[in-house]
């Protein structure tokens, strides 16, 4: 066990194959703790596939083979003796593109994870729910209606509820797969503000197609590309977001960021 986990990832020569087709190949990168790393690139370039590698969600798809090295705080995440997949997903939470609250109350959505991991005392659950909703910037809007069904919330509120649900297990990393793409501009801004606050204590890796969003919220950006259908996707470059958006090191990155393709 890691005594003082930092929430960092180190990927070395990572490849992902679906059956006989290699979708992503040769990805090496360092994900800095307590920061926001944006994965950008055209549709089909392996962003979500790579994101799912970080908490082994690809395992659930079946017929998926991941090769290379992925280390979380120095631990090989593919070695079940070091990191059980269930514990890995507790420590590396995920928020999906469309809000997916469970069909239950606001309170029960947030309490679900802690209950699953053994927290039963009501006072402790109450404290966890309140803290998670505060961190997701939703507490003030729902504190007097925690028994309300989650489906009665607006789309933006539902997405922040999903963030709170992920935060309730106290993860060190939060993976976010286009978390604002289905939301209106005001709700998107609330999500971005929440991300800016969360990165003070949580490592965030976000997939986004919105270049302005990536420029606004991320500290580092990784550009991925699949140049032809007969070749797997790969990482073109990763670096400081400000540098990437003003002086990228690769012409393909510049072309994508400036809208010439994608």
Contact between 136 and 163 under an 8 Å Cβ cutoff? The reply is: yes
Residue 9 sits at φ, ψ, to 5 deg, of -125, 145
Does the pLDDT value for residue 1 go beyond 90? no
- For domain 9-257, the question of CATH label 3.40.50.300 is answered with yes
Does the pLDDT value for residue 2 go beyond 70? no
Name the CA dihedral angle for 205, 208, 213, 218, rounded to a multiple of 10 degrees.
20
Helix (H, G, I), strand (E, B) or coil at 189: helix
CA gap 27, 158 in Å, rounded: 33
Query: pTM for this one?
Result: 0.93
Contact between 11 and 29 under an 8 Å Cβ cutoff? The reply is: yes
CA gap 19, 9 in Å, rounded: 26
Question: In this predicted structure, what is the pLDDT of residue 4?
Answer: 55
């Amino acid at each position: 066990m890691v005594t003082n986990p930092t929430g960092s990832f180190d990927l070395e020569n990572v490849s992902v194959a679906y059956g006989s087709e290699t979708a992503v190949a040769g990805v090496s990168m360092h994900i800095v703790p307590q920061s926001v790393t944006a994965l950008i690139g055209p549709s089909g370039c392996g962003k979500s596939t790579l994101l799912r590698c970080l908490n082994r969600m690809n395992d659930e798809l079946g017929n998926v083979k991941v090769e290379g090295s992925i280390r979380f705080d120095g631990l090989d995440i593919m070695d079940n003796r070091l990191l059980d997949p269930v514990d890995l997903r507790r420590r590396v939470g995920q928020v999906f593109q469309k809000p997916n609250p469970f069909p239950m109350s606001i309170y029960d959505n947030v309490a679900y994870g802690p209950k699953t991991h053994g927290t039963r005392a009501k006072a402790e659950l109450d404290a966890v729910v309140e803290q998670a909703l505060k961190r997701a910037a939703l507490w003030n809007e729902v504190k007097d209606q925690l028994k309300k069904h989650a489906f009665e919330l607006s789309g933006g509120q539902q997405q922040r509820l999903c963030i709170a649900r992920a935060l309730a297990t106290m993860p060190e990393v939060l993976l976010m797969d286009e978390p604002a793409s289905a939301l209106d501009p005001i709700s998107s801004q609330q999500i971005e503000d929440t991300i800016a606050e969360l990165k003070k204590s949580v490592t965030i890796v976000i997939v986004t197609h919105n270049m302005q969003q990536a420029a606004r919220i991320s500290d580092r950006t990784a550009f991925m590309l699949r140049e032809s259908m007969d070749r797997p996707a790969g990482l073109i470059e990763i670096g400081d977001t400000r540098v990437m958006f003003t002086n990228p090191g690769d012409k393909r990155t510049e072309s994508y960021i400036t809208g010439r393709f994608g």
